[in-house]
Structure 1
Amino acid sequence: MKGKKTRYWLAKVFISLFIFFSAYYSYSHAAYLRQLGFPDYFRIELVTAKCIGGILLLMPQTGRYVKEWIYAGFCICMVSAFIAHACSHDPVSRLIFVGVDFVLILLCIRYVRKYEYGL
């Protein structure tokens, strides 16, 4: 049981660290987000939402349904990133990178939900 709980927390920490890194990148590379077509106010909202979601995900007191909405928000964010990169004619390597990140996030979410719900 201890090994499962360790893997559960490692998956949650991986998701949160990934989102924190994504928020930092969005905040520090404003010109690139403008190139993708996003205005500055959206960039700030996106960074704020990612940071709040990452913090709430790591808090044990966060309710089950709140976590589900956090995971849904992260998935919507990843799908939107893929679409934005595709529409701005970024190289295929960047699309593959975003796609692989999305798959890794989905696998971690699957493992976390399996542990939390006993599926």
Structure 2
Amino acid sequence: MKRDKIIYWVATTLIVLSLGFAGFAYFTDPAVKAGFKHLGFPNYFRVELGIAKIIAALVLAIPAVPAQIKEWAYAGVGITFISAAIAHISSGDPAGVVIAPVISFIILVVSYRYYHTQQVVRGQFA
């Protein structure tokens, strides 16, 4: 079980850092603002998504957060990554830009799978 815990925390830490840095960049980086404009999204969506990513990072990082709330965070972040990939594909962005949310989604799935492994060990899920 120690191996499972290490995999969970490595994957979760990568996701949390990604979400935290992205959320911060959404408010501070002019290139991100230009990227949202390039994708055709309104400015308020960038702000909304930045707030959501910071909240999701906190929810996934804090062990004391209830399991049901973590489940919603995983779902929301997964939808965000899939939507980002679709938006970049639709706007004709190069494969290097499209692959980033796909890789993030894969890491998120690993985190989610091993999150459930940890919950079964604690007896919280059957």
Alignment of 1:43-54 (within 5 A): 43-54=46-57
Query: Which residue number corresponds to residue 89 of structure 1?
Result: 92
Amino acid at match of 2:82: V
Distance 1:77 1:60 in 2: 22
Amino acid at match of 2:92: H
TM-score, normalised on structure 2? 0.82
Query: Which residue number corresponds to residue 18 of structure 2?
Result: 18
Q: Give the CA deviation at 1:49.
A: 0.7
Query: Which residue number corresponds to residue 105 of structure 2?
Result: 102
Contact kept in structure 1, 2:12 and 2:108, CA below 8 Å? no
Distance 1:59 1:8 in 2: 13
Q: Give the CA deviation at 1:4.
A: 4.1
Identity %: 36
Given the alignment, which residue of 33, 37, 40 partners 1:34? Answer: 37
Distance 2:107 2:7 in 1: 14
- List runs of 5+ in structure 2 lacking aligned partners: none
CA RMSD of superposed structures (Å): 1.9
TM-score, normalised on structure 1? 0.86
Contact kept in structure 2, 1:23 and 1:51, CA below 8 Å? yes
Aligned residues: 119
Of stretches 73-82 and 13-22 in structure 1, the one that deviates more from structure 2 is 13-22
Report the 3-state secondary structure (helix = DSSP H, G, I; strand = E; otherwise coil) of the residue aligned with 1:38: coil
